[in-house]
Structure 1
Amino acid sequence: MKKLMTLVLVFTVATMSFAQKNEIKAIDKALKNLNFADAKSAVAAAEALIGNMDDKTKAKFYFVKAKALYANGAGSDSDIDKAIATLDELKTHESAMGKLRYTDQANEMKTEIYNSFLKKANEAFNSKNLTVASKAYENIFKISPKDTVYLYNAALLAAQNNDYDTSLKHFIKLKDLGFTGIKMNYIATNKETGGEEYFPEKANRDFAVKTLKTHHKPVDKKEESKRANIVKNIAFIYVSNGDNEKALAAIKDAREEFPDDNNLVLTEASVQIKVGNSEKAFGLFKEALEKDPNNPDLNYNVGIMAMEVDQYDVAKTAFEQALGLKPDYANAALNLSFIEVNKGNVMNDEMNSLGNSAADNKRYDELRAQKNDLFKSGAGILENFIEKNPDLNNIDIYNQLANIYSALDEGDKYKAMKAKVEALKAAGGN
């Protein structure tokens, strides 16, 4: 009986080994015929037997599985992700075996996948297909985790495409990896074209300049750290998603790392306003302006945030400061005008509520005069701005003036502004 059992056992193992090899042969055959659907089916069948494969057979299986999933670049995003993971499994497995039979081919295949995704990413980016470009850059990072800059590209494009969940995931990963993006760029000017060109290494650039003499004016340019942008984007995305508590926590971490970054101060102020803490928000506004009082953009941003919570006196002061620092700051002038016009519009509710008594008519005339004065003040701000910037081609400003003149029943001025708007549109103004 014991001999019989031994014979049965040997027969079973031999049959299983034969089945494994048949399944792998089936994958090979399908791949040679470029029948990737059949190859994937054969992979699924062989997968069930992997626990009983010897090391040599398992290495072969990993390799043909990756080829079946990649499908010469025609595989789905999910399948290509699995192909990349399978190639890594193959390399780990063969490294443990101490025999690298398929590792070189696996490296060649990863290079092919890398280059195909790089081409796909660049083409998609150039055609403004941000979804495809972002995913392709992410896949490049998966193939080559040392190339973190591609994950950064994926994060930026996902955010630009309003895919905040994906973008947030990537930015958090970059933060955890300690990615900065700092690197030295080696640049020289092409003598024939006159354009600057980037070289992968200093030696390549120096060879072109000193030996080939095709380039001159060598420059080493160090890229700034992207770390601040990463941590700020994490906070901004939390704000966009309405996750205020996480946003405040992220901003706290970011401010500890970048204490002099005023954009973070303003971002925290914005969140504090959303959670109803106006006192804290205006303390932060003050902090930001104390750090950089002569920054026109900072003053402008403070004005915008103040307008959002109806703090028009604070907003007016900030816009006036911005305009004083930058006399051609069109949006600052426009918002100053809006403040005056909005003050006038506030009177509409009371004017509309009045009756027809003598007292009501008198009050109506008083309110109308006040409203018109405010509208004229709003127009005056823009008129003065245009006078100081005679080459202005800002359609929004001329439209705002046209609307004010219309409300004031100043027909000739209204027509002049509308004609200006149409002329700018025809000329491609903004």
Structure 2
Amino acid sequence: MNTKIATLAVSMLMTLSTIAQKNEIKAAEKALKKKDYATALTEISKADGLISNADDKSKAKYYYIKGMALYAEGSDTGNIDDVITSFNALKAAEEASGVSKYSIEVSGIITTIIEKINTESFAAYQAGLNGEMDKYGEAAVGYDKIYRLMPQDTSFLYNAALVNSVGKNHEMAISQYQELLDLGYTGITTIYTAKSTVNNEVLNYSSYGDMMGQVKLKIAKDPKTEITKSKYMDMIKAIGSNYLALDNNEKALEFIRQARAENPTDYNLIIEEGTIYFKMGDNQKYMEKLEEAVQIKPDEAELHYVIGTIILESEENLDKAKEHLEKAIELDPKHSNAYLNMGAVFFKELKPIEDEMNANATNFAKYDKIKAEKYDPILKKMLPFIEKAYGLNPSDDVKNQLNSIYETLGMEKRAE
């Protein structure tokens, strides 16, 4: 008996809840028709706690009213995120119910919102390119909103990730790229184009059928079907680069290695991998990657300069350091640092001779002989490189070094 009473009580409560829910939705709908959006929101909010147990048709109506009241004919742009959430829930409810009552109307509004956000996002991106770095964030947020509003078009999420990378919002970029990978996004698309028979203008089509239909009608000619390259490896590389920017070297190395497995001769990937090893303090691995990179781009002056400088600092093979620095100068005759470091190579060669001279400091004849036969000839080889470096990039340090050489060699010439 008690069980029956309890069951009846629950049933009555559910019935009363349904009645209350419908009354609140009706009141909200009436306010919406009068364009009293504030009242519509107040009334529909009263049904918030009850809607989860409603049938799909009631849910669709609830989310329609809520979304429309929030949108307020586009006057309240601050509510766009909530509008997007409501409209997506509406479409999901109508798909579940099999009845499409509001989706067509909402689709038109969604298109308007998308066009507005897309225009604003592109303008923000252009401002970012022109130096307003904070605008990249605005652009990325806009593209992400479009994707949330229209999740079937993952290209907008890709745009958001790309702009976040450029704008140095690395954590968000990683998250969005990872989401794309989890969705199986590749970015492969088919592009259909033909030329106008009137003015040879290139025309774009959404399908092969549309293109060929116009070709048959002789409106267009020279039809082309092009399949774009996969963006999969670009995303893997981008994730690695963003981790590198965050100094998360282990994660960066994981993704860069994955990318390199597919592109073993990609110069930029080799340099990035080398940079990671450098940050990790593994100079041997760093050097290995630079040597690998120089095999791919033997005419890269900066690369020869970096390799020569590293060898110079290690003092392992001064001849090899000289070889790379000379190559850097050959490829870029205005590379002032390469000239300076060539001078540094000769300076290191002078060190053992200086020690020999100091050991004979009291034997003037022998001291002068060592200086004349060993020290000065190397100093003379060093001189033109320091002069060239000073000519390209004058500084007090280089000037003092240059004047010291002039003085040691007994020359009257001085750098001003």
Normalising by structure 2, report the TM-score: 0.70
1:263 to 251, 256, 268: 268
Letter aligned with residue 98 of structure 2: G
Q: Which residue of 2 aligns with 1:337?
A: 339
Query: Judging changes above 3 Å, is the alpha-carbon distance between structure 1 residues 20 and 374 closer, same or farther for their aligned structure 2 residues?
Result: farther
Do residues 284 (structure 1) and 292 (structure 2) align? Answer: no
1:296 to 289, 295, 299: 299
Query: Judging changes above 3 Å, is the alpha-carbon distance between structure 1 residues 337 and 152 closer, same or farther for their aligned structure 2 residues?
Result: farther
- Gaps of at least 5 residues in structure 1 are 347-358, 384-397, 416-430
Q: Which residue of 1 aligns with 2:259?
A: 254
What is the aligned-residue RMSD (CA, Å)? 4.7
Query: Judging changes above 3 Å, is the alpha-carbon distance between structure 1 residues 161 and 43 closer, same or farther for their aligned structure 2 residues?
Result: farther
- Equivalents in 1 of 2:199, 2:383: separation in Å? 56
- Equivalents in 2 of 1:228, 1:414: separation in Å? 53
- Equivalents in 2 of 1:230, 1:6: separation in Å? 57
Deviates more, 1:218-227 or 1:149-158: 218-227
Deviates more, 1:373-382 or 1:41-50: 373-382
Structure number with greater Rg is: 2
1:241 to 230, 237, 246: 246
- 8 Å contact from structure 1 (residues 138, 154) kept in 2: yes
- Gaps of at least 5 residues in structure 2 are 129-134, 349-360, 362-366, 407-413
Q: Which residue of 2 aligns with 1:387?
A: none
- Deviation string for 1:158-185 (max 9, x for gaps)? 1111111111111222233343323344
1:377 to 378, 382, 385: 385
- Equivalents in 2 of 1:322, 1:17: separation in Å? 80
Q: Which residue of 1 aligns with 2:126?
A: 126
1:136 to 142, 157, 168: 142
Letter aligned with residue 178 of structure 2: I
- Deviation string for 1:177-222 (max 9, x for gaps)? 3433233444556788887565444555566777565x77766555
- Equivalents in 2 of 1:68, 1:273: separation in Å? 56
TM-aligned CA deviation for residue 36 of structure 1: 4.5
Normalising by structure 1, report the TM-score: 0.68
Query: Judging changes above 3 Å, is the alpha-carbon distance between structure 1 residues 199 and 369 closer, same or farther for their aligned structure 2 residues?
Result: farther
TM-aligned CA deviation for residue 273 of structure 1: 1.6
Q: Which residue of 2 aligns with 1:102?
A: 102
The percent of aligned pairs where both chains have the same amino acid is: 27
Do residues 176 (structure 1) and 182 (structure 2) align? Answer: yes
- Equivalents in 1 of 2:197, 2:387: separation in Å? 54
- Equivalents in 2 of 1:219, 1:381: separation in Å? 55
Query: Judging changes above 3 Å, is the alpha-carbon distance between structure 1 residues 334 and 66 closer, same or farther for their aligned structure 2 residues?
Result: farther
- Equivalents in 2 of 1:177, 1:5: separation in Å? 47
- 8 Å contact from structure 2 (residues 87, 106) kept in 1: yes
- 8 Å contact from structure 2 (residues 56, 96) kept in 1: no
- Equivalents in 2 of 1:156, 1:285: separation in Å? 27
Q: Which residue of 1 aligns with 2:62?
A: 61
- 8 Å contact from structure 2 (residues 343, 382) kept in 1: yes
- 8 Å contact from structure 2 (residues 347, 382) kept in 1: no
- Deviation string for 1:306-343 (max 9, x for gaps)? 7579569677645654665xx5x577x34423534777
Deviates more, 1:163-172 or 1:112-121: 112-121
Query: Judging changes above 3 Å, is the alpha-carbon distance between structure 1 residues 336 and 232 closer, same or farther for their aligned structure 2 residues?
Result: same
Query: Judging changes above 3 Å, is the alpha-carbon distance between structure 1 residues 195 and 161 closer, same or farther for their aligned structure 2 residues?
Result: farther
- Deviation string for 1:7-43 (max 9, x for gaps)? 9878755653343233224433554455555544444
